[in-house]
Amino acid sequence: MLHNHGMKATPSIVALALGFLTLGPLCAGPAQAALSGDTASVHDDEIELRGTVTAVAHFAGFERRTLSTDTGLVINEFLTPAGTVFALSWSGPVLPDLRALLGRHYSTYVAALGQFAQPGLKRSLRISTADFVMESAGHLRAFVGHAYVPSLLPGGVPLRDLPW
């Protein structure tokens, strides 16, 4: 059982990759803990996300924090025992701010979009690189997706067991 006392009782969550701090939008939209972000960049998300941590669940080898925003997004962050976000999932009527959410992996995502044999309107996509996997699908009113960093998966945690 994971016990990460430093994070458990506070609404703040593991926050932004440094890259995002300089790139981020002017708080017009939500910001979340970026994928691969760590505890050294703890940030008060209640302000920027305009949402709250609504649930924290502990699993063997990892922790899941659930954030709910007032735009109806539900975002799950999966944390290693060391406090690194190794996976994320989202669902809601709109897409989350993926630039903020994916952190340093956002450029990988955009590069992968540019390499599709058939660009344009899509309703479902899967991007798989050595260090970044993302599945994103849906339409206005119902987007559902997740992303993870294979190299950060805690030992002994099978991917298929992640409660997205």
Partner 1 sequence: MVIIAIRRFAFMLAGLSLLTGCFGGNGTTAATSAPTSTANVTTVTVDSGPSSANGQINHAYVTVKVCEPGTQTCASIDHVLLDTGSTGLRLVGSVLTAQKVALPKETDSQGQTIEECMSFTGGQTWGPVVLADVYLAGEQASKAPLQLMDDANSAAPAPATCGANGTLMNAATGFGANGVLGVGVFLQDCGQGCVSNSAPLPVYYGCSSAGACTAENTALALQVSNVVAQFASDNNGVIVNLPNLANANGDATVQGELIFGLGTQSDNMLPATLTVLGVDGSGNFHANYNGSTTALPALIDSGTDSFAFNDSTIAVCSSGSFIGYYCPTVAPLAVSTVNTGLGQYTGSATVNFAIGDPNTFVAGATAFSGLGGGAGSTYFIWGMPFFFGRQIYVGIEQRSGGSYTGPFYAY
> Rounded to an integer, what is the distance from CA 152 to the centroid of its chain?
13
**CA neighbor of 87 nearest in space, from 162, 12, 143, 14:** 162
Residues of this chain that interact with partner 1 (CB under 8 A) are 25-26, 28-29, 50, 69-72, 93-100, 109-110, 113-126, 135-146
> Judged by CB, which is closer to partner 1: 7, or 127?
127
CB-neighbour burial class of residue 18 (10 A; exposed 0-12, middle 13-18, buried 19+): middle
Minimum distance from residue 125 beta carbon to partner 1 (Å): 5
Q: Across the strands, what pairs with 43?
A: 13
Q: How many CB atoms lie within 10 A of CB 50?
A: 14
Closer Cβ to partner 1, 19 or 29, answer by number: 29
Instruction: Name which of 8 and 54 has its Cβ closer to partner 1.
Output: 54
Q: Is 112 left (phi over 0), alpha (psi -120 to 50) or beta?
A: alpha
Distance in Å, CB of 133 to partner 1, minimum: 10
Give min distance, CB of 75 to partner 1, in A: 14
If the CB atoms of residues 27 and 40 are measured against partner 1, the closer one turns out to be 27
